[in-house]
């Protein structure tokens, strides 16, 4: 095994550029969303109301930019402050005390020291599905999460390689960026679900409303059309921006995995061990029921060392084509990652011959 420190760590400029661009879009997207929503509501709602009820509306919708900026700022700070804890809670991870699982803790501490990083905490998820991820607000406040299945199925060299992969994420600082970037799909999803709740409430309330006067009926119809149209437009615009932000999030995830693979190979000096670990994890995950994978997901699927291959946006028993066609995979192809790692191993073998 070889070691490295911060002095000779290879900085991935491509990863840095992508992460900087991602952070920029995290800030820009909410304002673009507000502008698009304002335009859609001010244009579509009056037109639909006039067409269906004959009532002319002279209204325009506007979102106060100062309030929006404050909300975005608060959201980013909140995501930065509690995003890692939410991630741990969502998958039921238990943070270990330092004296628990001493061999695992020692390996993590040694790899962190090699990378010139503060020692991260270690958490475990009770599941047979083998996987791991890292989360944290900063390099000094991070947690590496592993599953029981990972600890049971990998040998010592393979486990060290996976842990080195997660340490590399911390060294590259992409964990912090991904924690903040998840604000985008979360924000637009919450807006869409809130609008849907309003729409459902309106429809349920209709049965309790009634009037016999023509003017009252017309006014009531106009109110209903305005509320329903506003809600539908909000859901539609939110859905479009949710798709865009989710695409951005996934594309950021794909590139960072290659960077972490290279970092793990550099830390351990054994690319073949990570290749072997990925092959084992991938094989075991294909045997894991979708229900167990959904429980393991917890909204952090893109952070795992290996993808959870299940249909996220379809009902049980569906073939999942919608998810695969509409969104890019969260990870680069596992076979491609394995081949890259084996190529690194061949290069090392030739260089040392």
Question: Does 6 map to a domain?
Answer: no
If one compares 195 and 346, the residue with the highest pLDDT of the two is 346
Question: Does 316 map to a domain?
Answer: yes
- Report CA Rg, the chain: 25
If one compares 267 and 19, the residue with the highest pLDDT of the two is 267
Task: Please give the average per-residue pLDDT across 83-105, as a whole number.
Answer: 92
CA distance 206 to 171: 56
Percent of the chain with pLDDT over 90: 35
User: Tens digit of pLDDT for each residue in 226-242?
Assistant: 778 888 888 888 878 77
pLDDT at 211 over 50: no
> Tokens at residue 77, please?
């700070």
Please state the pTM of the whole predicted model: 0.77
Is residue 295 within 8 Å of residue 171, measured between CB atoms? no
Q: How many domains does the chain have?
A: 1
Question: Does 9 map to a domain?
Answer: no
DSSP collapsed to 3 states, 290-350 = HHHHHHHHCCCHHHCCCCCCCCCCCCCCCCCHHHHHHCCCCCCCHHHHHHHHHHHHHHHHH
Domain that holds residue 249: 15-352
| pLDDT at residue 189, as a whole number | 67
Question: Does 5 map to a domain?
Answer: no
Question: Does 323 map to a domain?
Answer: yes
User: Tens digit of pLDDT for each residue in 76-85?
Assistant: 788 778 888 8
| pLDDT at residue 132, as a whole number | 96
Active site residues: 166
What are the φ and ψ backbone dihedral angles of 56, each rounded to 5 degrees? Answer: -90, 125
Task: Give 100's pLDDT tier (boundaries 50, 70, 90).
Answer: very high
User: Tens digit of pLDDT for each residue in 139-187?
Assistant: 889 999 999 999 999 999 999 999 999 999 999 988 888 777 766 666 6
User: Tens digit of pLDDT for each residue in 244-258?
Assistant: 777 776 777 778 899
Task: Please give the average per-residue pLDDT across 130-145, as a whole number.
Answer: 93
| pLDDT at residue 263, as a whole number | 93
Task: Give 131's pLDDT tier (boundaries 50, 70, 90).
Answer: very high
Task: Give 326's pLDDT tier (boundaries 50, 70, 90).
Answer: low
User: Tens digit of pLDDT for each residue in 311-322?
Assistant: 444 444 444 434
Question: Does 340 map to a domain?
Answer: yes
CA distance 349 to 353: 6
- CB < 8 Å & 24+ apart, contacts of 97-104: 101/151, 104/146, 104/151, 104/159
Question: Does 53 map to a domain?
Answer: yes
User: Tens digit of pLDDT for each residue in 30-82?
Assistant: 888 888 888 888 889 888 888 887 778 777 778 788 888 888 788 778 877 88
Question: Does 292 map to a domain?
Answer: yes
pLDDT at 138 over 70: yes
């Amino acid at each position: 095994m070889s070691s490295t420190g911060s002095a000779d760590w290879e900085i991935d400029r491509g990863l840095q550029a992508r992460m900087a661009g991602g952070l920029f879009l995290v800030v820009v997207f909410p304002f673009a969303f507000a502008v698009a929503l304002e335009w859609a509501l001010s244009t579509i709602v009056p037109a639909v109301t006039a067409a269906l009820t004959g009532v002319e509306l002279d209204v325009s919708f506007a979102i106060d930019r100062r309030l929006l900026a404050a909300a975005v700022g608060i959201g980013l700070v909140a995501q930065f402050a509690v995003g890692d804890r939410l991630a741990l809670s969502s998958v039921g991870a238990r943070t270990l005390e330092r004296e628990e699982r001493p061999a695992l803790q020692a390996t993590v501490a040694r790899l962190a020291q090699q990378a010139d990083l503060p020692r991260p905490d270690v958490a475990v998820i009770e599941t047979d599905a083998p996987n791991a991820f890292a989360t944290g607000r900063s390099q000094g406040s991070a947690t590496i999460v592993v599953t029981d299945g990972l600890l049971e199925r990998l040998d010592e060299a393979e486990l060290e390689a996976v842990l080195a992969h997660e340490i590399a994420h911390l060294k590259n600082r992409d964990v912090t960026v991904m924690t903040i970037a998840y604000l985008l799909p979360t924000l637009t999803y919450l807006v869409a679900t809130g609008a849907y709740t309003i729409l459902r409430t309106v429809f349920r309330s209709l049965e309790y409303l009634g009037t016999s006067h023509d003017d009252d009926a017309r006014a009531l119809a106009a109110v209903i059309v305005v509320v329903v149209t506003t809600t539908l437009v909000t859901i539609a615009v939110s859905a479009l921006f949710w798709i865009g932000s989710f695409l951005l999030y996934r594309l950021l995830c794909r590139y960072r995995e290659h960077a972490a693979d290279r970092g793990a190979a550099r830390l351990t000096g054994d690319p073949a061990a990570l290749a072997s670990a990925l092959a084992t994890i991938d094989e075991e995950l294909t045997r894991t029921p979708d229900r167990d994978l959904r429980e393991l997901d917890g909204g952090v699927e893109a952070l795992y060392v290996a993808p959870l291959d299940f249909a996220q946006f379809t009902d049980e028993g569906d073939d999942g084509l919608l998810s695969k066609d509409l969104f890019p995979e969260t990870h680069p192809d596992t076979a491609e990652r394995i081949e890259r790692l084996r190529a690194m191993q061949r290069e090392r073998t030739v260089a040392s011959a």
